[in-house]
Amino acid sequence: MSVELDVFVGNTTIMDKEVYQLWLNGYTVNDAVKVRIEGGVMEECEASAEVLLSDTMDQYRTFQMCERLLHHPAKLANQLLFQIPPDRQAMLIERYYAFDDSFVREVLGKKLSKGTKKDLDDVSTKTGITLKSCRRQFDNFKRVFKVVEELKGPLVENIRQHFLLPDQLARDYAAIVFFANNRFETGKKKLQYLTFQDFAFCAGQLINNWTLGAVDNMTEDMDVDLDKEFLQDLKDLKILITDKDLLDQHKSLVCTALRGKTNVFNEMEANFKNLSRGLVNIAAKLINAKDVRDFFIDLVEKFIEPCRSDKWTSIDMNLYLTHYTNSAHILDTFKHHAVWTRYMGVIKSCILKMYHD
Amino acid sequence: MPGKLKAKIVAGRHLPVMDRASDLTDAFVEVKFGNTTFKTDVYPKSLNPQWNSEWFKFEVDDEDLQDEPLQITVLDHDTYSANDAIGKVYIDIDPLLCSEAATVISGWLPIYDTIHGIRGEINVLVKVDLFNDLNRFRQSSCGVKFFCTTSIPRCYRAVMVHGFVEELVVNEDPEYQWIDRIRTPRASNEARQRLIFLMSGELQRKIGLKVLEMGGNAVVGYLQCFDLEGETGLVVRAIGTACTLEKISTLPATATHPSNSSPSKDMKDSPQAAPSTLGCRSTHSSPVHSASSRLSQGFSVSVPTLLFAGMKPRHRSSEAPRARQCRPGFGEEAPGVPLSSGPPTPLRAQTFSSFSPSKSYSRQSSSSDTELSLTPKTGMGSGGSAGKEAGPLKALLRQQTQSALEQREYPFFTLTAFPPGFLLHVGGVVSARSVKLLDRIHNPDEPETRDAWWEEIRQEIKSHAKALGCHAVVGYSESTSICEEVCILSASGTAAILSSRFMQDGSLDTEHRLSRQPLCVFSTGSERVEGDMGSSASLGFEEVVPPGCGFCHIPYDELNIPFPAQLTYCYCCRRYKVPDVLFTTIDLPTEANVTGKGCLIQARLCRTKKKAQGEGNATAISNLLPFLEYELHTQLMNKLKLRGMNALFGLRIQISVGETMLLGLASATGVYLTALPSPGGIQVAGKTPSDITYEQHISNMQKKINDTISKNKELHEINPPEVVEEIIGSPIPEPRQRSRLFRSHSESSDEVSELDLSHGKKDAFVLEIDDTDAVEDIHALLTDSPTPAGFYSCNTEIMPGIQNWTSAIQMFTSVRVFRLNANLTNQGLNKIFSDLCENLLKSLYFKLRSMVPCCLCHLNFTVAIPEDELIQVAVTAVAMSFDKEQSLENGKQSGEKTLIKAITENDEQLQFNLELNAETSSPNPLSSPKGLSEVGSHPSARDRCSSWIEQLKLKAHTIRRGSVKTTSSLEKASPLPEGRSRSLRSNRSYSGSSVAVVKMTPLSFIPGAKIIKYLGIINMFFIRETTSLREEGGVSGFLHTFIAEVFAMVRAHVAALGGNAVVSYSMKECVFMENPNKNQAQCLINVSGDAVIFIQESELESTSVQTQSATTHTSNGGEGT
């Protein structure tokens, strides 16, 4: 005696948010039923485990049938097979494309290739996220990446339009795509303390200021690559550390401005040359793709770590960077104001974001 | 008369990749109608081709227009090999042939392939130009409107109800033709789909012809079925009720739809010319072979509802004779019928003006069914109920109606809901079954035998109805169950007495004016009041029968009750006899007085049967049937009593035959009719009172049952005025007085009053548990778990006691197939089957929990035995949310009662009223409130004293009830601010999505909305097959996809017609076959419904300009992509 076939089809497709989440999380039907039973839905609705199983299976089947459409969210709106109210459609899409921060930290900056996908079981065991869910998230990244890669125009806007994602999620995807494209190193031990949101913020800064689209959004090029010309120009900033006079001048200007305003003034003064060298060197090296990848690790090693060991507060950091940036403009022999502003603007906000425990 | 069909192929989208190399498709389209085919250009390398073709024009006969579908095939061009078919779209152009329906078909339609399912969509435009209107109805039946809805459609009013129409066509099933061995499954499926399309078109045209012949312009309650007989062929048959409908402009501004009223006018003119020319048309189309067959066993049993009501003890002992007893032999009852038609009372003379009898014989050649001796009996069945001063009048009226009906071959009506005043009395359920052996066609020229089979059954039904003293059968339906070569034919309906006013030409003109308002409205509470008032105002004699209880009054002669039943005086009006229990197949009349809420009641039964062949098999089945039916009825009765209810509506008994078992499933909605006596409890009695533990066991059981009854009563809010019963039971000699009064008018003798007295006090229904059967019964009774909180269920159109629906509706279909173990006993089988249904219901409740509080309406179960050891149950229903807070509108009933209460409290006024009425004895329906007026208006021949007693009683009654109502409404008034999810509500005006929302419902209405236009019938048949079952997610995945696809196609076609909803939707067939070993499965689904345009009532309330724009907006929504 067994139920051989059991289906339920509504004119308006019924989707339980809770079951959808379980499905997205990669639970098997039986595990999902267990979770639901523990959730107490049974007592609430006078249902039996049998009913719950039947419902869960049915929902899972519906989601599987929908998944094909979710890969092209625009299709969901004009397909005829499922009648889903628009608010539900939005929910389906948003949740399907949602990801776990712990997962994304593992693959951020990695090449979205088959090789990476093969390693997902390691990621799964490390993060405790089911392999199925990992795969879905990974495939989402890859799908978005593939579609956006070839598109012109602003990255975030492209993602939002093609995948009908809410603004914040679109921005996160933009960050993921940007990181994957530029292969930024994020996995090093020293970077472990940084969250995905830290990186996403930095990515947003980079996209908005350092890509070609940032200066001239009419050009045919895309948001995903850094502005080569700008990177070339960054080499000119080296003068700030190579020219002894300029470096001293810069230091004295900054120290004058900072004196008495901070508890760590002595450390700042002592470290100025080192820190300035660090930042300018990062700028000068960015023309090499290899060094672009190490951008964040460099920032941490060359700047954040020394400051942290000197126990700078965020306020100190802000103060220092503001004066450091502004003072350069007063130097009479320094000509590259535009590039300096563009560079330091991003660096400053990135460092401020990254400067925490 | 020819017409011009025009089609334009605009574009395609989401096409599948047909060329693996390029991941693209070179698509083109073939448009075929009849034998003419057009092609579009190939649109190379695209999954979203833009053909934008010219208009393809087909010049065709309108007969073909009715029969043939437009066939659109999308193909992939291939230079080297044969072009690959992507899929097909069949478009039924029938809606375009009726001027009142759709004018254009335009929109995205799914491209369907029987192997792959939906493969993209195609945008088409289809129009029809019919050449002038003058002789439009000569050659075909274009223009006859078809409705699946089993009531008068919402935006029409019935000018006349003509009666029963039926037709069937037979053909060979392509699946069983020799060629099927060499063609692909796809070709075979497509041949079948196309054939069924053709056959249903032909059938509809033929029915249309009959309607025109009768002078009608529409078919309401159109029910089309397929019998897949297998080797012997394929039968498509249909029944319906022919009507003359007239459109009422529902919009406040009448000028908005000027075109709507005109066609109906020319419909009315045309019939005169039509019949003469229609006669000569050959209706036998050539490719149709007639299936011959031989009758093996004829069996028929009629169980008129109340049948077992009175048999209490010992009813187990002899089933067989009882089963025979339940056949009311129509020969016997004839002599016993008293002729009670007295002379018309002069007092009521003025009512005669409302009908002119002379015209009723004008048309309709009387079809003679002489062998049934349908002698026009005057006053048939009117003995008891009509034995009042109004009796003779009614008898005369009845006589007239009857003669109008008797001219028809079958006085059957597929309607389940009626315009106010149409349904006078209900007798009970009549049903007939017959077991037939299908046989191979040896001689294709041999005349049709299927027709003869149905004729037999219909005659049987007709005679059963007569036995119940009724001249008509309403809520009539037919069905079959086929297993191998055995076929069970079933028909059932409700015997009833109808008012003549929709059946006679004479009353047309006067009725026309008077009943204009009432007919359109019987949906929501406030409107209903209006409807009642209107109808009673328009018909002088109608007041005699109070609308709230009139239909319950027995139509048969109480001296010759065709089956054992206990009669009592009506608990509403106290003047007519009512049975103790009432079973019907119709919907609960909207005006009925109901206490509490209703609920779904199901009797389920499974019986094993030996495997047999041919005639032996048929005999075995025929022998089993009466027992099956008897037990189903017992179960229904028990469950009804267990819920403390006294009437069943929408009763549908389905018997399904398999190789080794028979399945019986009876579903109905139980209610407590205020007019009927309160049901007694169920008493368990043991036969051997020796053992103490046994006694204890019994008393435990009894306690359980009693608890369940009281729990159920509470659940369904059944709190009838128990005090009234005491009054009846109390030995006041008043009933006798009443009966004496009766005697002066009818032939009723003392027996009547004795009968009444003896059953005045309700006895309990006794269940004896002396054998395992009974134990099983009790278990079955108690295993039905109550519906969870917040849920109600019914299988009828409306749920009594719930009116304030929100607009959130959710239609769904659920299918389950259960595999049984071999060698099960009857009990085991029963339990499994019952559990299967119960679990299915539980699942539904769980699924729909977000809609609470809600009611599952029109729960329609279909059982089948697809193969040995498999049981398939399919359910289609709609879940509708309602507001828990009692709205003002809902307070109609209680409001009415408080009104009565207020009046009864005011004695002076009462007396005045009474005297006024006694003196003038003229009805004053407008001033006197309902319930009171019935009593107050006819005391003429009665002596004052008795009427006073009556009045006092009523007063006590109403006061009691009034107070009860108030408290209950107070309880309800406590607001329950639950966070209800309204997400299911369709949001009509959203942007970003190009797909219009199409609502679907098995009901004839959409809550909170007004249907403003019917666009035509949707009748679709699909086959889906797979050879990769596992890859498609197994049987469940396969069927899930298929049902979703069917829904999608229905919605798309409705949207293309410009509609935004399907009402009266039903899935009539779902045949599922699987072969997991071969990784194959096949499924056939047939669905139907009425495509409509509706607008939300909230929108309607706004200015007419806005409504107009809303209408155009909706239709544009369909047209625009």
Q: Residue A222: what pLDDT?
A: 63
3-state helix, strand, coil in chain B (%, to 5): 35, 30, 35
Same domain, A325 and A246: yes
With bands split at pLDDT 50, 70 and 90, how would you rate the model's confidence at B608? confident
Whether residue A112 lies inside any domain: the answer is yes
On whether the CB atoms of residues B1026 and B1038 are closer than 8 A, the answer is yes
When mean pLDDT is compared over A39-43, B260-264, B864-868, the highest value belongs to B864-868
Whether residues A7 and B846 touch (CB distance < 8 A) is answered with no
On whether the CB atoms of residues B886 and B969 are closer than 8 A, the answer is yes
- To test the contact with chain B by mutation, choose from A2, A3, A5 the residue with the greatest count of B C-beta atoms within 10 A, namely A5
Of B108, B118, B789, nearest to A81 by CB-CB distance is B118
B13 interaction partners in chain A (CB closer than 8 Å): 78
- To test the contact with chain A by mutation, choose from B842, B843, B1054, B1071 the residue with the greatest count of A C-beta atoms within 10 A, namely B843
| CA dist., res. B587 & res. A52, Å (int) | 34
Please tell me the distance in Å from B606's CA to the nearest CA on chain A.
15
Q: Residue B441: what pLDDT?
A: 55
Same domain, A74 and A146: no
Same domain, A91 and A122: no
Same domain, A204 and A149: yes
Tell me the two tokens of residue A92: 């389906």
Q: Tell me the average pLDDT across A175-185.
A: 89
B849 interaction partners in chain A (CB closer than 8 Å): 44-45
Q: Considering only alpha carbons, which residue of chain A is nearest residue B838?
A: A51
Q: How many domains does chain A have?
A: 3
Whether residues A2 and B999 touch (CB distance < 8 A) is answered with no
Same domain, A288 and A239: yes
| CA dist., res. B671 & res. B591, Å (int) | 14
Q: What is the pLDDT of residues B712-728, one digit of tens each?
A: 887 777 776 654 443 34
A8 interaction partners in chain B (CB closer than 8 Å): 812-814, 843-844, 847
Whether residue A80 lies inside any domain: the answer is yes
Sign for the CA dihedral angle at B388, B393, B399, B402 comes to negative
The A-side interface with B (CB below 8 A) comprises 1-14, 44-48, 50-52, 54-55, 57-58, 61-62, 64-65, 75, 77-83, 85-89
State the number of CA atoms in the 13 A half-sphere of B685 facing the CB.
14
Whether residue A3 lies inside any domain: the answer is no
Whether residues B816 and A5 touch (CB distance < 8 A) is answered with yes
Please tell me the distance in Å from A50's CA to the nearest CA on chain B.
8
Domain that holds residue A60: 17-97
With bands split at pLDDT 50, 70 and 90, how would you rate the model's confidence at B729? very low
Which residue in the block uniquely carries the two structure tokens 């209408």? B1111
State the number of CA atoms in the 13 A half-sphere of A279 facing the CB.
24
Please tell me the distance in Å from A150's CA to the nearest CA on chain B.
19
Same domain, A90 and A109: no
Whether residues B1043 and A12 touch (CB distance < 8 A) is answered with no
Q: Tell me the average pLDDT across B457-468.
A: 89
Q: Residue B943: what pLDDT?
A: 41
Whether residues B811 and A11 touch (CB distance < 8 A) is answered with yes
Q: Tell me the average pLDDT across A344-356.
A: 90
Whether residue A288 lies inside any domain: the answer is yes
Is residue A223's pLDDT more than 80? no
Is residue B894's pLDDT more than 80? no
Q: Tell me the average pLDDT across B737-762.
A: 33
Task: Mention every residue, 6+ apart, whose C-beta is less than 8 A from residue B334.
Answer: B373, B375, B377
Residues in chain A: 357
Please tell me the distance in Å from B871's CA to the nearest CA on chain A.
10
Q: Tell me the average pLDDT across B916-945.
A: 38
Question: What rounded mean pLDDT belongs to chain A?
Answer: 88
Whether residue A9 lies inside any domain: the answer is no
Same domain, A93 and A126: no
A61 interaction partners in chain B (CB closer than 8 Å): 1033, 1036-1037, 1040
Q: Residue B361: what pLDDT?
A: 32
Same domain, A93 and A114: no
Quick count: other Cβ atoms within 10 Å of Cβ B393? 23
Which residue in the block uniquely carries the two structure tokens 């002894």? A244
Tell me the two tokens of residue B131: 């050449």
Is residue B562's pLDDT more than 50? yes
Is residue B532's pLDDT more than 60? no
Task: Mention every residue, 6+ apart, whose C-beta is less than 8 A from residue B185.
Answer: B114, B115, B1025, B1027
On whether the CB atoms of residues B211 and B165 are closer than 8 A, the answer is yes
Q: Which stretches of B202-348 are assigned E, i.e. beta strand?
A: 218-230, 233-247, 293-294
Q: What is the pLDDT of residues B83-127, one digit of tens each?
A: 889 999 999 988 888 777 778 999 999 999 999 999 999 999 999
Torsion-angle region of residue A332: left (phi > 0), alpha (psi -120 to 50) or beta? alpha
When mean pLDDT is compared over A31-40, B62-71, B691-700, B757-766, the highest value belongs to A31-40
A11 interaction partners in chain B (CB closer than 8 Å): 810-812, 998-1000, 1047, 1051
Whether residues B1039 and A7 touch (CB distance < 8 A) is answered with yes
Same domain, A316 and A331: yes
- To test the contact with chain B by mutation, choose from A3, A8, A76, A163 the residue with the greatest count of B C-beta atoms within 10 A, namely A8
Q: Residue B479: what pLDDT?
A: 92
Any idea which of A143-147, B781-785, B1021-1025 has the lowest mean pLDDT? B781-785
| CA dist., res. B627 & res. B606, Å (int) | 11
Write down which residue in A214, A243, A260 finishes a domain. A214
Which residue in the block uniquely carries the two structure tokens 């089988």? B829
Write down which residue in A82, A97, A112 finishes a domain. A97
B223: phi then psi, degrees, rounded to nearest 5: -125, 110
Task: Mention every residue, 6+ apart, whose C-beta is less than 8 A from residue B1031.
Answer: none
- B853 burial (CB, 10 Å; 0-12 / 13-18 / 19+) is middle
On whether the CB atoms of residues B747 and B341 are closer than 8 A, the answer is no
Write down which residue in A76, A97, A118 finishes a domain. A97
Cis peptide before B853 (omega within 30 of 0): yes
Of B847, B993, B994, nearest to A8 by CB-CB distance is B847
| CA dist., res. B8 & res. B58, Å (int) | 12
Q: Residue B551: what pLDDT?
A: 83
Q: What is the pLDDT of residues A291-303, one digit of tens each?
A: 888 899 998 988 8
Whether residues A83 and B1051 touch (CB distance < 8 A) is answered with yes
Same domain, A232 and A197: no
Cβ contacts from A onto B, under 8 A: 152
Same domain, A241 and A348: yes
Whether residues B819 and A51 touch (CB distance < 8 A) is answered with no
B814 interaction partners in chain A (CB closer than 8 Å): 7-9
ipTM value = 0.89
With bands split at pLDDT 50, 70 and 90, how would you rate the model's confidence at B946? very low
Of B108, B844, B1041, nearest to A80 by CB-CB distance is B108
Please tell me the distance in Å from B712's CA to the nearest CA on chain A.
17
When mean pLDDT is compared over B474-478, B777-781, B949-953, B1030-1034, the highest value belongs to B474-478
Q: What is the pLDDT of residues B468-517, one digit of tens each?
A: 888 889 999 999 998 888 899 999 999 998 887 776 543 333 333 333 33
Whether residues B994 and A14 touch (CB distance < 8 A) is answered with no
Please tell me the distance in Å from B402's CA to the nearest CA on chain A.
44
Whether residues A4 and B1035 touch (CB distance < 8 A) is answered with yes
Of A9, A50, A64, nearest to B1044 by CB-CB distance is A9
Same domain, A291 and A330: yes
Whether residue A8 lies inside any domain: the answer is no
| CA dist., res. A140 & res. A127, Å (int) | 18
User: Which of these, B1008, B524, B986, lies nearest to B807 by C-alpha position?
Assistant: B1008
Q: Residue B334: what pLDDT?
A: 31
Question: What rounded mean pLDDT belongs to chain B?
Answer: 69
Is residue B893's pLDDT more than 50? no
User: Which of these, B194, B191, B141, lies nearest to B167 by C-alpha position?
Assistant: B141
Whether residue A5 lies inside any domain: the answer is no
Q: For chain A, what is the radius of gyration of the CA atoms?
A: 25
Whether residue A7 lies inside any domain: the answer is no
Q: Residue A338: what pLDDT?
A: 86
Which residue in the block uniquely carries the two structure tokens 């009845």? B398
Q: Residue A173: what pLDDT?
A: 93
Q: Residue B684: what pLDDT?
A: 72
